[in-house]
Copies of this chain bind each other. A is one copy, B any other.
Amino acid sequence: MPDGAPTFSAAEYERRWRAIQSEMAMRGQDAILLTSAADVFYVTGFLTRFWESPARPWFVILPSAGAPLAVIPDIGRDLMQGCQVGEIRSWPAPRPGDDGVSLLADTLSDLLPETGTIGLPMGPETSLRMPLADYLVLTRALAPRRFVDATDTVQRVREIKSDVEIDAIRATCRCADAAFDRVPEIVVGAGRLDEVFRRFQIALLEEGADWVSYVAGGAGPGGYGNVIAPAEAAPLRDGDLLMLDTGAVKDGYFCDFDRNYAIGRADDDLRRVYDGLYRATEAALSALRPGMTARDAHELLTAGLRRAGLVSAGGRLGHGLGVTLTEWPSFTSLDETPLRENMVLTLEPGAVVSEGRIMVHEEDVVLRAGGPELLSRRAPPELPVIRR
């Protein structure tokens, strides 16, 4: 493949454009404006870690038919040229006073009549990746054209994965499967939690991840306090429960699952909670079907925890997954999003072990007509013990 060329065929991107354009037509949106790394990658294949730099905004417009237009900093032109995109307009960013705003306004004005409606994702799980002050200038420059919420327009398409996307997520999960297999040897070789985190990231890369966008975890006697902390430079001790959670990336697609390990010995409390989480997940793996809602998935997992006599650790019990570490929907009691065939989802029940100590279990699946198909290799049915 040439430098930065998309992993997928032109046909895959054309399918995506048409699917979004069909949603746009249904909702009366004449074009949509995309500003996030994930949305831009989704419609063009433009993949770079350069989004890490907050210096420059990037814009992609999908018109009502045909290929997207890119309005981007000059520095991205060479890479964008290899992507699935029509016209590319660029400016020498960063440019104080007019950082692409007039070029973007002109492009949208050329494209849309004054009665035109521009869809912009502005709802849950979105954010506008451009300076807010520039957005306000843009809305004035484009008036009487109107910006409307295009969250559903994008999410209803992105949430259903194609075969090549499912294969990509499965490939990323394989890297994490292999890295998790190596955790016992890593723990034996590394006494401290920060060393474990470091070597686990190395294992993910060695097993084929392109990069590691997310590692979190925790360790402590009888569980951990939270699931989002970076590593502390503290020794692992016998009796600790260790959890590692990763969002590795391969070809732009994430995995997101965790594994738990008992250090030295597994106390009864930990075994009991692990078993309950495992069985709650099994129940969801066998009962989840397209046509249910995110709320139903939450209820399935909650019922599983209840049957095991466990108290939920709270928060959502699973979510979507794909070109970002987490995607909608959220398995909560309030999320009515319908679950549909070929959604990629995580099942993530968590339970309280004791006051302030929790355990969380996570698997990645694709929802098929007949139920979930695992993308992560199923966690072992009993809490693994790492003896040093």
Contact flags A61-86 to B (C-beta < 8 A → 1, else 0): 00000000000011111110000000
Asked if A189 is at the interface of the complex by the 8 Å CB criterion, the answer is no
- Bound-state Cα–Cα, A11 to B197, Å: 29
Given contacts A133-B122, A214-B49, A226-B3, contact A75 B194 (CB under 8 A): no
Are A230 and B96 neighbours in the complex by a CB distance under 8 Å? no
Chain B, residue nearest A316 (CB): B94
Asked if A53 is at the interface of the complex by the 8 Å CB criterion, the answer is yes
- A198 contacts which chain B residues (CB < 8 A)? 205-206, 209-210
Asked if A145 is at the interface of the complex by the 8 Å CB criterion, the answer is no
Given contacts A52-B325, A325-B53, contact A206 B202 (CB under 8 A): yes
- Bound-state Cα–Cα, A231 to B133, Å: 35
- A153 contacts which chain B residues (CB < 8 A)? none
Chain B, residue nearest A2 (CB): B232
Given contacts A211-B215, A216-B50, A324-B54, contact A124 B99 (CB under 8 A): yes
Chain B, residue nearest A247 (CB): B52
Tell me the residues in window 104-146 of chain A with beta carbons closer than 8 Å to chain B beta carbons.
120, 122-133, 135
- A212 contacts which chain B residues (CB < 8 A)? 201, 211-212
The segment from A277-285, A327-335, A361-369, A373-381 that touches chain B is A327-335
Are B230 and A47 neighbours in the complex by a CB distance under 8 Å? yes
Are B332 and A94 neighbours in the complex by a CB distance under 8 Å? yes
Are A53 and B326 neighbours in the complex by a CB distance under 8 Å? yes
- Bound-state Cα–Cα, A38 to B38, Å: 20
Given contacts A96-B334, A201-B211, A228-B79, contact A216 B48 (CB under 8 A): yes
Asked if A319 is at the interface of the complex by the 8 Å CB criterion, the answer is yes
For A210, A214, A226, A326, the residue with the greatest tally of chain B CB atoms inside 10 Å of its CB is: A226
Distance (Å) between the CB of A135 and the closest chain B CB?
Answer: 8
- A210 contacts which chain B residues (CB < 8 A)? 194, 197-198, 230-231
Taking A92-B315, A198-B205, A201-B212 as given, write out 6 further A-B residue pairs in contact, using a Cβ cutoff of 8 Å, ordered by the A residue number.
A48-B216, A52-B213, A54-B326, A55-B316, A57-B127, A201-B211
Are B211 and A75 neighbours in the complex by a CB distance under 8 Å? no
Given contacts A201-B211, A202-B206, A325-B53, contact A228 B120 (CB under 8 A): no
Are B125 and A95 neighbours in the complex by a CB distance under 8 Å? no
Interface residues of A (CB under 8 A from B): 1-5, 36, 38, 47-50, 52-55, 57, 73-79, 92-97, 99, 120, 122-133, 135, 149, 151, 194, 197-199, 201-202, 205-206, 209-216, 218, 224-234, 247, 314-316, 319, 324-326, 328, 330, 332, 334-336, 356
Q: State the oligomeric state as a number of copies.
A: 2
Are A233 and B1 neighbours in the complex by a CB distance under 8 Å? yes
Distance (Å) between the CB of A204 and the closest chain B CB?
Answer: 10
- A328 contacts which chain B residues (CB < 8 A)? 55
Are B75 and A96 neighbours in the complex by a CB distance under 8 Å? no
Given contacts A218-B3, A233-B1, contact A54 B126 (CB under 8 A): yes
Are A314 and B74 neighbours in the complex by a CB distance under 8 Å? yes
- Bound-state Cα–Cα, A349 to B129, Å: 27
User: Which 7 pairs show the lowest CB-CB distances between chains A and B?
Assistant: A122-B132, A78-B226, A50-B228, A53-B326, A4-B229, A122-B133, A78-B225
